[in-house]
Amino acid sequence: MFARLIALLACLSLMPLAASAQFGPKPPTPYSPEELYADRLYNEGGRLSSGVPGNVVTDDSGLDFERAQDRFDESRGLYQTLCDSTEAEQDQWARNCHKVADMYRRGIGVSQDYRLARNLYDRSCLQGDHIVACTQQAYLSHLGRGARRSDMEHARELYDHACGLKDPRGCAGLGNMLYRGQGGDLDRTRGSRLLQQSCASDYDWACERLKGFGIPETLERF
């Protein structure tokens, strides 16, 4: 009887692991009503402000820059509130930090500000594991966009974080920097391997880098 009880407890202790393996990674957090409303405001602002440069704006054109600015202001405020929320799920606040960062980077409804965009991208990436935020800011830091010079160390840090999340773009960026010794130590062995794995994972830019470096492709994916 005691042996049967031990066996039953062992089976029960394995059930959460089995369920996790069966159902895979946690799905993205659904958009909240506030986030959906913010997205609608943002899209409406784009519709009200987009036109062909040089065209004369008339009452029939559908453009209204004052209303567009109101929509952008409100959407940005909602995105920022969601970004700052400590009660929201990690992926939810991180994606809203990314949205605010995009507005500052592109100067949508606000004066372009790469410094603010970088702070938001960094939080979204390094604290929230938002892969696109990682690779976008890594690229900007690599180019030195919004700064006096490029920040290779920062770019490498963000690519490394994205690569740790198994993102082919992040691993390709990191591999390229490792192979060239940018932002840190030179490591052509690891750099080549990361580029090969990214190429095998169907990231074409990594394949182009391999050709440029004279490195053969492989079929080994992440």
pLDDT in tens, 10-41: 444 444 444 444 556 689 999 999 999 999 99
Quick one: pLDDT at residue 19?
41
What is the mean predicted confidence (pLDDT) over 47-58? 64
Euclidean distance between CA atoms 212 and 120, whole angstroms: 34
Quick one: pLDDT at residue 23?
56
Please name the amino acid found at residue 181.
Answer: G
Query: Exposed e or buried b for every residue in 83-104, given b needs 16+ CB within 10 A?
Result: beeeebeeebbbbbbbbbbbbb
Q: pLDDT class for 59, splitting at 50, 70, 90?
A: low
Q: Is the pLDDT of residue 1 over 50?
A: no
In residues, how long is the chain? 222
Euclidean distance between CA atoms 53 and 11, whole angstroms: 67
Residue with tokens 């809203």, as numbered in its chain: 96
| The dihedral formed by the CA atoms of 77, 26, 166 and 149, expressed in degrees to the nearest 10 | 10
Report whether 93 contacts 82 (CB < 8 A): yes
CA dist list (Å): 61 to 43, 51, 79, 125 = 17, 9, 29, 40
Q: pLDDT class for 51, splitting at 50, 70, 90?
A: low
Please name the amino acid found at residue 122.
Answer: D
**Tens-place pLDDT, residues 147-191:** 778 999 999 999 999 999 999 999 999 999 999 999 999 999 999
**Tens-place pLDDT, residues 67-115:** 999 999 999 999 999 999 989 999 999 999 999 999 999 999 999 999 9
Dihedral (CA of 102, 108, 114, 119) sign: negative
Find, among 167, 109, 101, the residue nearest to 140 by Cα.
Answer: 101
**Tens-place pLDDT, residues 109-151:** 999 999 999 999 999 999 999 999 999 999 999 999 887 789 9
Q: What pTM was computed for the model? A: 0.83
Report whether 81 contacts 74 (CB < 8 A): no
